[in-house]
Structure 1
Amino acid sequence: MPEPGLERVLGAARDGDETAFARVVNRYRGELHVHCYRMSGSFDDAEDVLQEALLKAWRARESLPEAEGVRPWLYRVVTNACIDAIRHRARRVPSLNSLGDVTWLQPYPDRLLDQAAPEATEPEAVAVSRETIGLAYLAAIQLLPTKQRAVLILREVLGCSSAETAALLEITVAAVNSALQRARARLRGAPSASPDRPSEDEESLLRRYIEAHERGDAAGLAALLAEDVRVTMPPEPVCYQGRTALEPLLDRAFGPACPGTWLLTPTRANRMPAAACYLRRTGDSRFRAFKLDVLHVEHGEIVETTTFDDRLFPAFGLPASLAGPIRRNGGETTPWSAGSVVHEQGDRRR
């Protein structure tokens, strides 16, 4: 049911009231950002495209429909802006062997997914569910031609009918059904995701993953990994497959040449467990943001780790550096516990 007075606000928006227009748009901004992200696979691109789309919507404000039509109208503007942007960037994945093949792939903070649909009963909740926001799914749909991708998302993620999708994309119903059939065929066998709620396995493995890092325990970390574990590092087009292939990485991170001491704090990305990794280099007094590891857990093992750089730490509400009390054991400094971390921003304790 439309909120009281919404029609009056819509009228003011059509007349050029920027505050009224922002009030209308902000009701849907979170889910629209997620939509742009799902279309592009990139958090940064999603923000750019959404800003561009909302500017187009502002210029077309006189065509704002009545209250019940606002959401579809905005999705039409935003989806077509996404299609134009994707075609302009000309990014395609000929085949998907690993997440590293989608070099522009970026994580999405769970805290923003929660803001987009704070209640599970809201219709927007399906748009932020793990089944269609997981990294593997996002990477897989980048294989699809742009129009097929849009059709798949509108029909199977947002639950639009064929007629609604046709209207949004300004194509025929027959074209929608054909595109959906081809998209489904191409994605057959794509990875599925587990439920949104973190499992005990995930929480336990994330905790032990963090502890092993902070101890500098390469063997302990390796024990958490599946034998055929896969590690990718977008935007680098690399993929390490299996524990043996990871040995050089573990040696660099924890061996004699290790550049410093690790401090990790738990977070979540794409409805998956993640660890924000900070490194205190030798001679430095602070832990500096270094990387973000997103873990895929199955059957009590980490089967895949996707490692991103620290560029999106601000979006996760994470500071650029951390400081905290140093714990000493026999006169030697040991890694700081994530439970005693002091954030540089606001000096908040976690």
Structure 2
Amino acid sequence: MTDAGPLGAEEAAFIAVARSGDSARFALITERHRRELQVHCYRMLANYEDAQDMTQETFLRAWHKRESFKGHAALRTWLYRIATNVCLDFLQRRQDRTPVPSGLPDAGSEVRYLQPYPDRMLPEDPQDSVVARETIELAFIAAVQHLPPRQRAVFILRDVVGWPASKAADALELTVASVTSALQRARVTMREQLPGRRLDWRSPAAHELSLDERGVVQAYIDAHERNDLDGLMSLLRDDLRFVMLPQAGTSAGTAKDAVDGWVRGGLFRPGHDDWRCIATTVNRMPAAALYLRTPGDPAYRLYTLAVLHIVDGKIAELTGFDATGKPWLGLPPAL
């Protein structure tokens, strides 16, 4: 991300708004940055609802600080700086929730907040590193949460957003040497958390699902709708990483762990469970929305969102989310 000139058109318009106190014009100018700022907050916090709230807090703080903007940097840069510090302040307060089991991968305490991100809410330019697929996938988001908050901010600003060290240092009120050191430590952690994955986050990978991924999702859906536990098992890699969020005490682990957990939970009972599924995407990943119709209910009710990471035609990671009461997912509550 590069700054515009000291007084680009957007910056000049914003300064005029700051002087006039016109809140409607302020909203019009800043709103165009909402989606990318929300993605930035999501990477910091791993939680869609918290990211929404902190994006709104960013705009409120920007309004109160509007007269401090002098146009020496791009408005976009100024808003990113505010959003980053809003998230850091929030992370200091977020300490009191119950952790869930490890998974995806070896999750630390922060991953207990993980929520999926609806693709329809991503910025429209898929080639921008802001929405590069590999930097929005669940495994990446989970891995980032292993970084201490300020180190997390350095890593995202430097290696995802693409800021130079001097700009990141200014935003975080650190020295360039501190930023450089924090980035080196963050990269080590990311390599440990994402072994074997491409780590050049500023070179966006393809964001469209492959035919292979689409085929596996359809096979996963077919197995669910047939209550075919063996067919489902055949789609899972032996070294599957499996986790269900956000319920505490839910099993996390291998393919066998996943299947055993489903059976213990009373699912996949032939002649009893009646499933319908919808193929979808979240976090630019293939997913299936699972709807269950219980005896006596005429409708299929939204039950779970299963997000899949597919490698060589097999499901390598399966993250299940409770999808009820989350209208922001954009899924119908019943079929």
Deviations for 1:270-320, whole angstroms, at most 9, x for unmatched residues?
111001111111111111111100001001101111000114742232121
Tell me if structure 1 keeps the 8 A contact 2:152–2:186.
yes
Task: Name the CA distance, whole Å, in 1 between partners of 2:334 and 2:168.
Answer: 45
Alignment of 1:132-143 (within 5 A): 132-143=135-146
Q: CA deviation at 1:161?
A: 0.2
Q: CA deviation at 1:223?
A: 1.1
Q: Which has the larger radius of gyration?
A: 1
User: Please, which moves more after superposition, 131-140 or 193-202?
Assistant: 193-202
Tell me if structure 1 keeps the 8 A contact 2:275–2:290.
yes
* Equivalent position of 2:292 in the other structure: 279
Task: Name the CA distance, whole Å, in 2 between partners of 1:253 and 1:289.
Answer: 15
* Equivalent position of 2:118 in the other structure: 109
Alignment of 1:154-165 (within 5 A): 154-165=157-168
Q: CA deviation at 1:3?
A: 8.4
User: Please, which moves more after superposition, 211-220 or 297-306?
Assistant: 211-220
Tell me if structure 2 keeps the 8 A contact 1:96–1:143.
no
When normalised by structure 1's length, the TM-score is 0.82
Q: What stretches of structure 1 of length at least 5 have no aligned partner?
A: 323-350
Tell me if structure 2 keeps the 8 A contact 1:15–1:62.
no
Q: CA deviation at 1:96?
A: 6.3
User: Please, which moves more after superposition, 308-317 or 32-41?
Assistant: 308-317
Tell me if structure 2 keeps the 8 A contact 1:230–1:242.
yes
Q: For residue 240 of structure 1, what is the amino acid of its counterpart?
A: A
Tell me if structure 2 keeps the 8 A contact 1:33–1:50.
yes
The 3 A distance-change label for structure 1 pair 171 and 107 is same
* Equivalent position of 2:62 in the other structure: 57
Q: For residue 297 of structure 1, what is the amino acid of its counterpart?
A: I
Alignment of 1:322-333 (within 5 A): 322=335
Tell me if structure 1 keeps the 8 A contact 2:39–2:130.
yes
Deviations for 1:163-218, whole angstroms, at most 9, x for unmatched residues?
11011111111111111111112222332367422112110000111111111111
* Equivalent position of 1:150 in the other structure: 153
* Equivalent position of 1:210 in the other structure: 221
Alignment of 1:333-344 (within 5 A): none
Task: Name the CA distance, whole Å, in 1 between partners of 2:68 and 2:277.
Answer: 50
Task: Name the CA distance, whole Å, in 2 between partners of 1:112 and 1:284.
Answer: 32
Task: Name the CA distance, whole Å, in 1 between partners of 2:256 and 2:243.
Answer: 15
Tell me if structure 2 keeps the 8 A contact 1:230–1:303.
yes
Q: CA deviation at 1:119?
A: 2.8
| Mapped pair 1:29 → 2:43 | no
Q: Which has the higher contact order (CA 8 A, sep 6+)?
A: 2
User: Please, which moves more after superposition, 303-312 or 247-256?
Assistant: 247-256
The 3 A distance-change label for structure 1 pair 65 and 211 is farther
Task: Name the CA distance, whole Å, in 2 between partners of 1:36 and 1:175.
Answer: 22
Q: What stretches of structure 2 of length at least 5 have no aligned partner?
A: 199-204
Deviations for 1:253-286, whole angstroms, at most 9, x for unmatched residues?
212595x311110111111100111111111111
Taking only aligned residues, the RMSD between alpha carbons, in angstroms, comes to: 2.5
The 3 A distance-change label for structure 1 pair 96 and 127 is farther
| Mapped pair 1:236 → 2:247 | yes
Deviations for 1:138-169, whole angstroms, at most 9, x for unmatched residues?
11111111110000000000000001101111
The 3 A distance-change label for structure 1 pair 17 and 67 is farther
Find the residue that maps to 1:160 and give its secondary structure: coil
| Mapped pair 1:186 → 2:189 | yes
User: Relative to total residues, which structure has the larger strand share, 1 or 2?
Assistant: 1
Task: Name the CA distance, whole Å, in 2 between partners of 1:81 and 1:154.
Answer: 14
Deviations for 1:103-145, whole angstroms, at most 9, x for unmatched residues?
11110011212xx1x2345xxx201112211111111111111
Tell me if structure 2 keeps the 8 A contact 1:224–1:302.
yes
Task: Name the CA distance, whole Å, in 2 between partners of 1:272 and 1:320.
Answer: 21
Q: CA deviation at 1:8?
A: 3.7
Partner residue of 2:208 out of 192, 197, 205: 197
Find the residue that maps to 1:106 and give its secondary structure: coil
Q: For residue 244 of structure 1, what is the amino acid of its counterpart?
A: K
User: Please, which moves more after superposition, 306-315 or 185-194?
Assistant: 185-194
The 3 A distance-change label for structure 1 pair 167 and 223 is same
* Equivalent position of 1:340 in the other structure: none
Deviations for 1:34-71, whole angstroms, at most 9, x for unmatched residues?
00000001111111212222111111111233395201
Task: Name the CA distance, whole Å, in 2 between partners of 1:38 and 1:224.
Answer: 30
**Matched length:** 314
